[in-house]
Structure 1
Amino acid sequence: MTSQVLGGHPYSQPRETPRGWLVVLAAMVGVAVGLSPVPFYTIGMFAPELSKAFGWSFAAMMGSIGVQSAVVMVSGPLAGFAVDRWGPRRVAIVSLLLFGLCFMSLALSNGSLLLYYAQWGVMSVLGAGTLSAAWTRVVNGWFDKNRGLALGFASTGTGLTGFLIKPFTAWIITDYGWRAAFVAVGLLPILIGVPIILLLFHERRGLAATVGSNEAAEVEEYGLTLMQALRSRRFWILAAAFFLIAFALTAPTPNLENILKSFHFELAQIGRITASFGLAVIAGRIVGGWMLDRIWAPACAFVILLVPALGSWLLAGDTLSGQAALAAVLCIGFGAGFEFDLLAYLISRYFGQRNYGMIYGCFYTVIAFGGGLGPVVYGYAFDSTGTYGTALLIGVACVLTGSVLLLLLGAYPVFTAADAANPQQS
């Protein structure tokens, strides 16, 4: 049996060096130009152009995001298997290249909506190696004491994309047209992502092997296999918790503008209020990561997830002032920024690094399902009742229940070489 550590760290050997922060920088860039943020933040820029060119409805074009979510539920675990089998660096480089080419292929759209969806489906398979599993596995391997903070900084890449890529895409569309814009955006992962990953993104295990050290390799491979994890009660506690958390944190995000509109805010005011969401996401990643390094992660999560619960509760009221609306959006954004960092941290602490990619991929499927379901439920609630109040209160209950479930995970296990062959982990 492994020993348990409640608030400390499950690895006894120090592993943090300045070079690890270069890996974090590379991971941040990889996240920024990957499958998760690039299509999500640019689809709104391309939609009016495609509608004008082919007569597609906005609902039909936004269906591409649904296609991506559905495909990622399958391709996420497969990408995790590839990360464990061939290594995160190789998978990330190949996937960045293929993702860029697939995105560029959207410039060849000919008016067939079915073909357009198929392109998104292929892109979601080939680009799945740019999702969080590859980046967080390598960052985990370089850090122990400051692991949460490192994960937080790495995941701020999505916030940088949200801030920079919209004006870039708008400039290309305005000056050169939407087809050129698809090509220009698709070149970003190829011309920026691939060179930086080749130069800076290295597993500590691989680096240690070049100097004849096996310390890092041992640390990297300790932990549970996927089958051992599936037999663990912690796996199913975490799955239930993150389904509820993903549902509650994702559901309000695409509905924020309509939620505020239901309180009769003017469009310009809605734009100013919702613009703060991205900054709150970045703050949630960094502050949450910093706290994870100092507080037992389930307790840290319980405290931080009270913040988005408060945000949803504020939006569920009968009246809403401008100040309360801004506070609510900041609270929800802060919680949304914490979600993926928390998941990566908990997986590394409770299941180890041995089959990290596959285990993370399984949880990505859970998050994709919960996150995809949430906006639909909220939209249906609004269509049926004309208000989001009941749905938002359900979201409050979900996020609070999920945070309580995390407290059942118990102390961090300490993985050793003897545990690698032990099927009785729990």
Structure 2
Amino acid sequence: MIAATSVDESSLHYRGWRVVLACFLMAFFMFGFGLYGQGVYLAELQRAHGWPGTLVSAASTFSFLLTSVLVIFTDDLLARIGLRSLILCGLSALGASTVLLALMQTPWQLYLAYALMAVGWTGMGTVVIATVLNSWFDRRRGLALSLAFNGATCGGIVLVPLLLSLTASIGFRSAMLAATTVMVLLVLPVVVGFIGWPAGLPLASGERPAGGGTPAPAHSRKALLANAAFWTMVLPIAIALLAQMGFIVHQVTFLEPLIGRASAGLAVTIMAAMAVVGRLSLGLFVDRLDPRLACAASMTSQAAALFVLLQSTSPTALLVCCAVYGFSIGNMITFPPLIIQREIGSAAFAAAMGLGTSISGVVSAFGPGIVGLVRSLTGNYTTAFAMCVALDLIAASIVLWRPGRRAKLAAS
């Protein structure tokens, strides 16, 4: 069940917008520390301890794979401990992870820190954010998701340069401890004060309301795996994210010989900035669009940008292509909750988001490796990025396929 449609979701006084603010801050720190910050950890831990890059990068892979397993059980955790408790557990785990990264001395502590980061993703990541916003919004759901998920991109744009600047001035240990303190001081009050389910509505995935009552029944993952609408959403998103992760990781390596290091760095900045613009632009209109058509258009635009990128050596053209590509980057995590709500339903929302995020996370984790392997075998990025173009077009075709019979899972 979604938020009651009798309220004015466009009003700034609607409590749901305070929930959006809380979700924005959660995404800001979770993605800032848990995704974009990993490049900082790689460099600083190698410098501080002399550990090989393979050790630290293997810990990153371990963390992402563990995250993909844990998020499957998000709906079960919501039912057992409740929404606010799950988020506070995630915040505690992320904070413990970043503190341990600052203080660690041995490799086993590195893997413990990254395991705690995976727990943080479970409590503060995309599945929880999408689930809580799905319960608060109906007519403005797309805008709410876009605004909240912009916190993820802003985490990369703001937090990573801040960590690098603080590390240069006060050292890595002090920088991490200071940033962790700021995170707790900002996120803890808004989670306690703003986060919760809308009053008077059935709760997601069996969570029991504070005043008692009967929880909504959870839905089996087996039923979701047999649902055609689920697969025609998950599979194309996973394929598109595989191509996207492959390009993002190899972008600088591809561009640097063509336009130089400084311009390659500018291309990354432009792409990240356009991801924010793209989310905001889509958020203004997506609630009036067919999410499958909009998703296919985004995938096709990425394919077109990559295709032109391969044909050009002009610095201006290459930067424009990166801008076009970036415009739809962030929306790849906005479309799944919109499609799930429309075609699978609220009763199975958390379970479908958890399972779908897990599948796409595992598949997309291979993107950088596959692109790197094809590049090594062919000696250039032409074939590798052409493969990404083909994958995007295949994904766009699959997401347009609609099951003839809507298998919407409803609460019994």
Q: Which amino acid aligns with 2:70?
A: S
* SS of residue in 2 equivalent to 1:33: helix
Partner of 1:307: 301
Over 3 Å counting, the alpha-carbon distance change for 1:373 and 1:363 in structure 2 is: same
2:15 aligns with 19
Distance in 2 (CA, whole Å) between partners of 1:232 and 1:156 is 30
Q: Structure 1 pair 64/332, CA: closer, same or farther in 2 (3 Å)?
A: farther
Corresponding residue of 1:284: 278
Cα distance change of structure 1 residues 74 and 43 upon mapping to structure 2, 3 Å threshold: same
Q: C-alpha deviations, 1:118-148, integer Å up to 9, x for none?
A: 3212331354211111111111111111111
Shift of 1:227: 3.9
Amino acid across the alignment from 2:239: L
1:102-181 pair list within 5 angstroms: 102-110=97-105, 112-181=106-175
Task: Give 1:381's match in structure 2, choosing from 360, 374, 377.
Answer: 374
Matched ranges for 1:252-401 at <5 A: 252-262=247-257, 264-317=258-311, 319-401=312-394
SS in 2 for 1:393: helix
Change (3 A) 1:222 1:46: closer
Give the Å deviation of 1:331. Answer: 2.2
Correspondences of 1:208-247 after superposition (within 5 Å)? 226-247=221-242
Moved more, 177-186 or 140-149: 177-186
Identity %: 22
Could you say if the C-alpha distance between residues 77 and 415 of structure 1 is closer, same or farther in structure 2, counting changes exceeding 3 Å? closer
Change in CA separation of 1:206 and 1:68 when aligned onto 2, cut-off 3 Å = farther
Q: C-alpha displacement at 1:27, in angstroms?
A: 0.9
Q: Deviations over 1:218-247 (max 9, x none)?
A: 9x9699654432321112222222221111
In structure 1, the gaps of 5 or more residues are: 1-8, 422-426
Matched, 1:58 2:71: no
Deviation at 1:16, TM superposition (A): 4.4
Per-residue deviation, residues 52-99 of structure 1 (Å, max 9, x unmatched): 222123343333321221111111112343134433222112211221
CA gap 1:94/1:117 in 2 versus in 1, 3 angstroms:
closer
CA contact (8 A) 1:33 1:188 kept: no
Judging changes above 3 Å, is the alpha-carbon distance between structure 1 residues 239 and 50 closer, same or farther for their aligned structure 2 residues?
Answer: same
CA distance in 1, matches of 2:330, 2:350: 21
3-state SS of the aligned residue for 1:202? coil
Checking the alignment, whether the CA contact within 8 Å between 1:249 and 1:336 is kept in structure 2 is yes
CA distance, structure 2, for counterparts of residue 10 and residue 196 of structure 1: 22
Distance 1:355 1:381, change over 3 A: same
Q: Check conservation: 1:284, 1:334, Cα contact below 8 A.
A: yes
Read off the aligned partner of 1:276 and give its amino acid letter.
I
> Any idea what SS the aligned residue of 2:366 has?
helix
CA deviation digits over 1:293-324, x for unaligned, max 9?
1111111212222211112112333x421122
- How far the C-alpha of 1:328 sits from its partner, in A, is 1.8
What's the C-alpha RMSD, in Å, of the aligned pairs? 2.9
One-letter identity of the residue aligned with 2:129: W
Aligned equivalents of 1:67, 1:161: Cα separation in 2: 22
SS in 2 for 1:420: coil
Q: Which protein, 1 or 2, shows the higher relative CO under an 8 Å CA cutoff with sep ≥ 6?
A: 1
Segments of structure 2 that go 5 or more residues without pairing to the other structure are 204-208
What's the CA shift for 1:258?
0.6
Say which of 94, 106, 110 aligns to 2:89.
Answer: 94
| TM-score after normalising by structure 1 | 0.85
Deviates more, 1:114-123 or 1:397-406: 114-123
Determine which of 30, 33, 36 is the counterpart of 2:26. Answer: 30
